[in-house]
């Protein structure tokens, strides 16, 4: 997938866009080799395909190619990243961009933007913002922190998104720590 010339890269930067695409593939399908090319119903009963793609683009009777999955991922990553970044008023790091964009991709832009998580971030409390990512631990009113509920992967994802936000999961080899810690205006 060519990220460098994409709208997403222009909006959040090549490094953040590259890392976000990798994170989303990792969280949604595990790897490019494992992505489901045929739509299925997720835990919420929503038709889903490729790397967690939902909505109008998903036709239940259709099989999607890798190229179509790549395009859908790029479009949806851009939409969710732009949407969540539009409601963040505080300068944030590349890591925070990736974490909040992933959270919005999984939970919806509106839910993330109206959350206490973003309110804390916008008040300048980056630690509370990152910690607040873990407040999105439910799926279909099930507590995903409980393995027996069948959605434990959601809780694992929230923990990883928080770790990315707090820079405990690093972006290896892409740039040095000084650049990684720079903050970027979101608008």
Pick from 65, 16, 18: nearest CA to 38:
65
Domains, the chain, ranges and CATH?
7-184 (1.10.530.40)
3-state secondary structure (DSSP) of residue 84: helix
pLDDT tens, residue by residue, 168-184: 987 655 444 444 454 44
Cα angle 173, 174, 177 (rounded to 5 degrees) comes to 85
The answer for residues whose C-beta is within 8 angstroms of residue 91's C-beta and 6 or more apart is 183, 184, 185, 186
Instruction: Give dist(CA 116, CA 118) in Å, integer.
Output: 6
At 23 the pLDDT is: 84
Q: Which of the 8 DSSP states describes residue 176? A: -
- The per-residue pLDDT of the chain, averaged, comes to 85
pLDDT tens, residue by residue, 10-64: 656 555 667 777 888 888 877 777 888 999 998 888 999 999 999 999 999 999 9
At 90 the pLDDT is: 93
Pick from 107, 113, 82: nearest CA to 186:
82
pTM of the model: 0.83
26 vs 91 pLDDT, higher one: 91
- Tell me which residue has tokens 């009963």: 45
Res. 140: pLDDT tops 80: yes
Of 5-9, 126-130, 147-151, 178-182, the one with minimum mean pLDDT is: 178-182
């Amino acid at each position: 997938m060519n990220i460098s010339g994409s709208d997403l890269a222009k909006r959040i930067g090549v490094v953040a866009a590259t890392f976000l695409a990798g994170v989303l593939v990792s969280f949604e399908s595990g790897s490019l080799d494992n992505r489901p090319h045929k739509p299925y119903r997720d835990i919420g009963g929503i038709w889903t395909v490729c790397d967690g793609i939902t909505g109008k683009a998903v036709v239940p009777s259709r099989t999607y190619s890798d190229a179509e999955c790549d395009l859908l991922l790029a479009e949806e990553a851009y939409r969710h990243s732009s949407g969540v970044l539009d409601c963040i008023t505080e300068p944030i790091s590349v890591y925070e961009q990736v974490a909040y964009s992933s959270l919005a991709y999984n939970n919806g832009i509106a839910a993330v933007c109206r959350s206490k998580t973003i309110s804390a971030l916008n008040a300048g409390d980056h630690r509370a913002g990152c910690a607040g990512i873990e407040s999105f631990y439910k799926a279909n009113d099930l507590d995903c922190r409980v393995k027996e509920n069948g959605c434990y992967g959601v809780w694992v994802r929230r923990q990883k998104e928080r770790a990315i936000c707090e820079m405990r999961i690093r972006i290896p080899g892409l740039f040095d720590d000084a650049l990684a810690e720079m903050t970027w205006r979101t608008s």
